[in-house]
Amino acid sequence: MRRPVLLTLAAVGGVIVLLGGTGIFAALSDTARSGTNSIETDALAPSADLQVASATGDLVVGLSCDAFNENLTSGLITIGSGGVGFVSYQDHPYCVRNVGSKTVSLFVGVEAFDDVEVGCTGDEALYDDTCGTGVGEIGEGATVNHAYFDESSPNSWLGLGGGLLRDRLQTPDQLVEVSPGETVILLVAIHVNPFNDELQAQREQSDRLTWRFIWTGQA
């Protein structure tokens, strides 16, 4: 009977020794901590960030850029009505500035293209089966051309090509490269019935075409 009691007392004593040892270890240790560390990055300019402005002045003597904005609130081209068979043309200079951090290739396309009939006048009904209703015909012949003002060029304005305005819905025109902080002056020109085609003039009378230009900078 004595041996189990002794074994029990020995086991309890071992637990007390272990607990006592742990208490001694905790009393002899210490910890130290730093304050809150941090990493914060600076803001970077977008790789491609375009601003656009209308331009005023003389195409030969000199042009100046108006106030730059992310988007223009008004159109660049407004061509009014004219006589049957007329060749209607208008051009307008404008500026694009790259406020991004990388050089971009500049493209210009067309969106919100809306070609509608607004009336049936003159002899239009003889040539236009949808006279006064449906889709207009101005978009069949309206063309767009672009030019770049290059101070190093003897002619100043360098042609950049173009084509049918409506085709620019799917295929934008590539213009020039624009470096960070650089401003370029460009010219857009619209011809309505550029070849003075009599049949086309008859079909597109009393029509209205509206659209927006859209510029894209590809870094």
If you search the block for the tokens 């063309």, which residue do you land on? Answer: 143
Q: Say how far apart CA 75 and CA 207 lie, in whole Å.
A: 18
Quick one: pLDDT band at residue 200, thresholds 50, 70, 90?
confident
Out of 46-55, 90-99, 130-139, least confident range: 130-139
Instruction: Decide if 159 contacts 174 (C-beta within 8 A).
Output: no
Burial environment of residue 161 by CB neighbours within 10 A (0 to 12, 13 to 18, 19 or more): exposed
Q: For 110-148, what is each residue's pLDDT tens digit?
A: 999 999 999 999 999 999 988 988 899 999 989 999 999
Query: Which residues face 28 on adjacent strands?
Result: none
Domain boundaries, the chain: 50-218
Average pLDDT of the segment spanning 85-96: 84
- Positive or negative, the Cα torsion across 24, 27, 28, 30? positive
Q: Nearest-CA neighbor of 50 among 123, 122, 111, 102?
A: 102
Most confident of 61-65, 150-154, 192-196: 61-65
pLDDT for res 17: 46
Q: Say how far apart CA 194 and CA 190 lie, in whole Å.
A: 9
Q: Extract the tokens encoding 149.
A: 């003002």
Q: Nearest-CA neighbor of 126 among 202, 205, 204?
A: 202
Percent of the chain with pLDDT over 70: 84
Indicate whether 151 pLDDT > 60: yes
SS (H, E, C) 14-37: HHHHHHHHHHHHHHCCCCCCCCCC
Q: Say how far apart CA 63 and CA 55 lie, in whole Å.
A: 6
Other C-beta atoms within 10 Å of 37: how many? 5
43 HSE (CA, 13 A, CB side): 3
Higher-confidence residue of 93 and 3: namely 93
Average pLDDT of the segment spanning 33-49: 90
Instruction: Give, as one character, the DSSP assignment of residue 21.
Output: H
Q: Say how far apart CA 146 and CA 35 lie, in whole Å.
A: 61
pLDDT for res 195: 80
Indicate whether 20 pLDDT > 60: no
Q: Say how far apart CA 187 and CA 149 lie, in whole Å.
A: 8
The mean of the pLDDT values for the chain is: 86
**H helix and E strand count, the chain:** 3, 9
Quick one: pLDDT band at residue 22, thresholds 50, 70, 90?
low
Q: Extract the tokens encoding 44.
A: 């970077």
pTM passes above 0.85? no
